[in-house]
Amino acid sequence: MAKAFGRFEIQGELGRGAMSIIYRGYDPKIERMLAIKTLRPEYSAHSEYRARFLTEAKAAGTLNHPQIVTIFDVGEVDGIPFIAMELLTGKSLSEFAAAHPAGIPLPALLKIAIQIAEALDFAHRHGVVHQDIKPENIVLLNEAFDIKMMDFGIARILSAEDTPSDEGARAFLSGTPQYMSPEQITDQPIDGRSDLYAFGVLLFELISGHLPFEADDPWSLWQKTLKDPLPVLKARDPFTPPELLEIVRTLLAKDPNARYQSASGLAADLKAMGRRVEERDSHALAAKIIPLRVRWPLVMASVVALVMLLGLFWVHHKQNQTITELTYDYGFSLSEWVAVQTAEDLLLQDKPALQSWVDSMSRNREIVYMAIRNINGQIEAQTRGDALAEQMASQLKADHVTLSRGDLKVYTVHGSDSTPFFVFEMPIEYQDKRVGQLRIGLATTALVTANRTTLLTLMTWIVVVLGVVIAGTYWLTRRLQVPLDQAISALDQIKQGRLEHRIRRHRRDDFERLFAAYNAMADVLEARELRAKAAELDHKHDVPLGVENAPASAAAPAAGKSVGAGVVVGSNPGTGVGTGVGSGAAPR
């Protein structure tokens, strides 16, 4: 049964937070369903909480932006402050992220991030800091990834008197501990850059799948946030652009001056990166310009592969030559020894003894053929098997001679399975008198195996080296691509007339000089533009008396003086926050 809360009909509870309760309600005045957020009774009892809740909720209610939830009414019923806001349907960003354990697809992530940055820019330019940016406060409305930011109930109105509080109410109303900026934790003056830190925590969580700092209690968590260095951001999606990781690291700088100085600059960088990713994806095959991260690894791999292949062929050739020569020396030494041992038996024509020698030597796996002939060329003993003998006889001809050293010859012949082997031919002499001829065939299996093993080893080494070269060069060029993309994005800002944009990332290499040169150029261009505006206003102020519409023209200098002296903070899209207070220089 519906309960009455002022003019609203409460139809059920939607959720509870640490300090508030949200109900589903119906407003008969505008005839629509609403979400009604009330301060918990234990906090409603304190006047300072009620006053800040209502004052800052009213300020948030002035924000009219497509990505910010609409607030219809703010008030108090029986001492309980409330905010009547648009009732959203859809998933929270935390639920959407949980449904993508491998990471939110990059196009969706960039679209969501750009919308959040644009909404924050709008709020900051209207003097409102959200103070509780987290996935639970972002709602995805549809499958096109359109979002709305909600829970501006603790948003802070920026003012010149925004100084650290003593009563503790502000610190307590700061937001969620995991997403609080260092200046929130220490209760220092804050501006839009505090929201940008929380946005960086949100992006870190969406990209890596975990928060940058975690602990069991808020105090330990805050100590880590203030003192520990930022953990390495490892993206779950291997195709995450390195420039996005660099943006997150910039947002999470502990010093607000080292972060982005405005949400507009952040949104511009995200849009520029989104365009590059889209162009890279849609024209990947037809791109005329090959990215450095692709070109350099390919060039380095080609050069290294060419050098190593040439080295491979040289090593293989030299090894084959050396092993072959060693095989020749071994074959000649073995033949010479056998010739000496069989010379006397051959002279005595002791065929059983000669055949015994042949059979004994043939037991050696490396000796595949052996034949002993007398002085007349008749075979006295040979390896058993007529087929092998016939095969040898058909190939032991002059055109098969591989090496000749006087009466010593080496033939290269092939077995029935096409396996090559060497046949060594040597005269048998007894007391310097030739008594016959010896032929010994040695298998080349060991030689072939050694060459093949060396070749495979070298090929494996080449593959490993190429892999290391490609990976190392790709990693290096990705690192180089990040500052290049930053410079391109910054120049795009200049092209679009955003002269307040500065590159605030610091490097310890030559890119630091490039960034410094860009910033100096932007300073000169911005100063030139301000001088031109001031000169134009002074010219209007100096219009001679009597000229028609002089009173109207005379009003211009009053408005122009602030432009000539400085930029009105909040009137420029590049400013971090809007206060409506004149300033000598807009923060960038």
Cα pseudo-dihedral 206, 209, 215, 218, rounded to 10 = 20
Residue 208 CB neighbours (<10 A): 19
**Cα(194)–Cα(189) distance, integer angstroms:** 10
For the record, the structure tokens of 567 come out as: 């930029």
- Contact between 258 and 250 under an 8 Å Cβ cutoff? The reply is yes
48 belongs to a structural domain:
yes
pTM, two decimal places: 0.52
- Domain termination residue (choose one: 458, 492, 526): 492
Residues 484 and 537 in one domain: no
- Contact between 440 and 338 under an 8 Å Cβ cutoff? The reply is yes
Angle between helices 263-282 and 445-495 (to 10 degrees): 140
Between strands 367-374 and 147-149, the pairing is unpaired
CATH number at 413 reads 3.30.450.20
Partners of 438 in beta bridges: 372, 426
CATH number at 63 reads 3.30.200.20
**Cα(392)–Cα(68) distance, integer angstroms:** 94
Within 78-173, residue ranges assigned H as helices are 93-98, 106-125, 169-172
pLDDT for the residue numbered 542: 61
Give phi and psi for 104, each to the nearest 5. -65, 135
Residues 477 and 414 in one domain: yes
Residues 214 and 296 in one domain: no
Residues 281 and 370 in one domain: no
pLDDT for the residue numbered 281: 66
Block means of pLDDT (10 residues each) for the chain, 588 residues, are: 79 80 88 87 81 75 85 86 86 90 89 93 88 89 88 55 43 70 89 92 93 90 91 88 90 92 90 81 56 78 88 85 85 90 88 88 83 88 70 75 86 78 89 89 80 86 88 82 81 79 79 87 88 80 50 39 34 36 35
* Collapsed DSSP state (helix, strand, coil) of residue 469: helix
User: Tokens 């072959």 appear where?
Assistant: 324
Catalytic residue from among 73, 132, 151, 195? 132
**Cα(78)–Cα(38) distance, integer angstroms:** 12
- Contact between 130 and 105 under an 8 Å Cβ cutoff? The reply is no
497 belongs to a structural domain:
no
Q: Give the CA count within 13 Å in the CB-facing half-sphere of 60.
A: 31
- Domain termination residue (choose one: 86, 116, 149): 86
- Domain termination residue (choose one: 265, 287, 309): 287
Residue 132 annotated among the catalytic residues of the structure: yes
Which residue type, as a one-letter code, is found at position 483? P
Cα pseudo-dihedral 353, 357, 363, 368, rounded to 10 = -120
Angle between helices 192-208 and 242-251 (to 10 degrees): 140
502 belongs to a structural domain:
no
In terms of C-beta density within 10 A (0-12 exposed, 13-18 middle, 19 or more buried), how is residue 560 classed? middle
Q: Which residues of 570-583 are buried (b: 16+ CB within 10 A; e: fewer)?
A: bebbbbbbbbeeee
176 belongs to a structural domain:
yes
pLDDT for the residue numbered 160: 40
pLDDT for the residue numbered 331: 87
341 belongs to a structural domain:
yes
Interior angle at CA 290, CA 286 and CA 292, nearest 5: 155
* Collapsed DSSP state (helix, strand, coil) of residue 7: coil
Residues 278 and 302 in one domain: no
Residue 496 to residues 265, 482, 500: CA-CA distances in angstroms? 12, 21, 11
**Cα(134)–Cα(145) distance, integer angstroms:** 17
Who's near 507: CB < 8 A, 6+ residues apart? Answer: 483, 515
Q: Which residues of 396-424 are buried (b: 16+ CB within 10 A; e: fewer)?
A: beeeeeebeeeebbbbebebeeeeebbbb
Within 2-63, residue ranges assigned H as helices are 41-44, 47-61
Residues 328 and 339 in one domain: yes
Partners of 140 in beta bridges: 91, 147
CATH number at 106 reads 1.10.510.10
**Cα(310)–Cα(253) distance, integer angstroms:** 50
Residues 298 and 239 in one domain: no
What is the 3-class SS of 253-321, one letter each residue? CCCHHHCCCCHHHHHHHHHHHHHHHHHHHHCCCCCCCCCHHHHHHHHHHHHHHHHHHHHHHHHHHHHHH
**Cα(76)–Cα(113) distance, integer angstroms:** 35
Look up the domain containing 191 and give its range: 92-287
Residues 308 and 171 in one domain: no
Our count of domains for the chain comes to 4
Residues 257 and 195 in one domain: yes
**Cα(267)–Cα(489) distance, integer angstroms:** 11
Dihedral sign of CA atoms 221, 224, 225, 231 in order: negative
Residues 371 and 332 in one domain: yes
**DSSP per residue over 358-427, as a string?**
HHHHHTSTTEEEEEEEETTS-EEEE-S-HHHHHHHHHH-SGGGEEEEETTEEEEEEE-TT--EEEEEEEE
174 belongs to a structural domain:
yes
Residues 232 and 267 in one domain: yes
Question: Cα Rg for the chain, rounded, in angstroms?
Answer: 43
- Contact between 577 and 569 under an 8 Å Cβ cutoff? The reply is yes
Angle between helices 445-495 and 242-251 (to 10 degrees): 50
Q: Give the CA count within 13 Å in the CB-facing half-sphere of 261.
A: 18
221 belongs to a structural domain:
yes
498 belongs to a structural domain:
no
Residues 65 and 97 in one domain: no
